[in-house]
A = this chain, B = another copy of it.
Amino acid sequence: MTLRLAAIVESLAGEFEARLVGDPDILIERLSPIESARPQDLAFLSHAKYLNKLAQSAAACVIVAPAVQEVAIKRGACIVVDDPYYYFARVTQLWKQHHAPVAVPQVHPAALIDPTAQVAKDASIAAFACIGAGAVIGSGARVAEHCVIGPNAAVGANSRLSARVTVAEGCTVGERCIIHPGAVIGADGFGFASHEDRWEKIEQLGAVRIGNDVEIGANTCIDRGALQDTVVEDGVKLDNLIQIGHNVRIGKHTAMAGCVGVAGSTNIGAHCTVGGGAVILGHLSLADHVHISAASVVTRSIWKPGHYTGLFPIDDNGTWEKNAATLKQLYGLRERLKQAEKILGKIQEKS
């Protein structure tokens, strides 16, 4: 399937002041990275630093910023717009919409819906999905195969749950959310009281509340609160295989890459980013606009916006072994240096 270049630009005309330079009747067959684009493809140039890729690109058309339009126009067709990457994001959405088969809302006969559940007339429930007593599925929501929506849970309007997502009892998902396969919303938080060398379960009586426009990756887990709710605010984006402990709060528009772990009762601000594999310990606070590098371990609260890192630099194994062994004596080395400085000081005094 193809899209006319002019059709793309027109579709987004209400949102962007974009100028199409070149033949509006070009048929676009594919969206592609600029370096591998073929003559039927639409590409984009995100940064002027990749300018050399532009001239060499075989793309039918390239989305560019005004700063590079001269070079772009020399090459051929282009769309000139202030934020090419954002424009491109919107084009991918158009593309998907245009190419996806029109889904007629339906409740599959092999879905299992409790008679007390409220499913909007235009919601879709796929085969083998289970909707519990008192659960609410909003208008336009789509619940894929093998999802389990627990008793009194809610999925907001136009949210899309992929196959086998669990939204456990009493948990709520906002509007326009996207949840990928295997995600578990509302399993018990990890709470035990130690008693006579055993662990006594603290029943987790809170739930999970997820805002609007949240995306949750495959096999990611968000635990229900112990007494109060775990909260994920509007616009948060969580990648795959992330663990969010009980009673955590994640502020608006914060994004976390894959394999992050956030321990219980931690309060993360808005507009933060957390790199893949990072670990954030429990009962901490992170301010808004805090950025944690991948694989870093947050062991204390961070009150100041900024970029924080803590990871051991990788090296060839031999060099690492030497440095790592020395690291275990580091405190001792400091004391020895102090001592040497002291002696040096005395020598200097004498002379």
Interface residue ranges, A against B (CB under 8 Å):
30-33, 36, 83, 85-86, 88-90, 92-93, 95-96, 101, 110, 112, 126-128, 130, 144-146, 148, 151, 162-164, 166, 168, 178, 180-182, 184, 187-188, 190, 192-195, 197-205, 213, 215, 217-219, 221, 223, 226-228, 235, 237, 239-241, 243, 245, 253, 255, 257-259, 261, 263, 271, 276-277, 279, 281, 292-300, 306-317, 319-331, 333-334, 336-337, 340-341, 343-344, 347-348, 350-351
Contact in complex: A95, B294 (CB < 8 Å): no
Contact in complex: B198, A188 (CB < 8 Å): no
Contact in complex: B327, A276 (CB < 8 Å): no
Contact in complex: B308, A317 (CB < 8 Å): yes
CB distance from A211 to the nearest CB of B (A): 12
Contact in complex: A190, B166 (CB < 8 Å): no
Residue of chain B at shortest CB distance from A259: B261
Q: Which of A194, A219, A300 has the most CB of B within 10 A?
A: A219
Contact in complex: B259, A243 (CB < 8 Å): yes
A306 with B297: in contact, given A184-B182, A243-B276, A341-B336 (CB under 8 Å)? Answer: no
Complex alpha-carbon distance, A172 and B36, angstroms: 22
Q: Given the complex, which residues of B lie within 8 Å of A110, measured CB to CB? A: 112
Contact in complex: A182, B182 (CB < 8 Å): yes
CB distance from A297 to the nearest CB of B (A): 4
Could you list some 11 contacts between A and B, CB below 8 A? A86-B195, A93-B203, A95-B203, A95-B205, A128-B128, A162-B166, A163-B166, A184-B219, A197-B253, A221-B240, A325-B331
A255 with B192: in contact, given A276-B261, A331-B326, A336-B341 (CB under 8 Å)? Answer: yes
CB distance from A94 to the nearest CB of B (A): 9
Complex alpha-carbon distance, A85 and B194, angstroms: 9
CB distance from A8 to the nearest CB of B (A): 14
Residue of chain B at shortest CB distance from A277: B279
Contact in complex: B263, A199 (CB < 8 Å): no
Contact in complex: B337, A333 (CB < 8 Å): yes
Complex alpha-carbon distance, A192 and B239, angstroms: 11
Q: Given the complex, which residues of B lie within 8 Å of A253, measured CB to CB? A: 197-199
Contact in complex: B221, A241 (CB < 8 Å): yes
CB distance from A70 to the nearest CB of B (A): 24
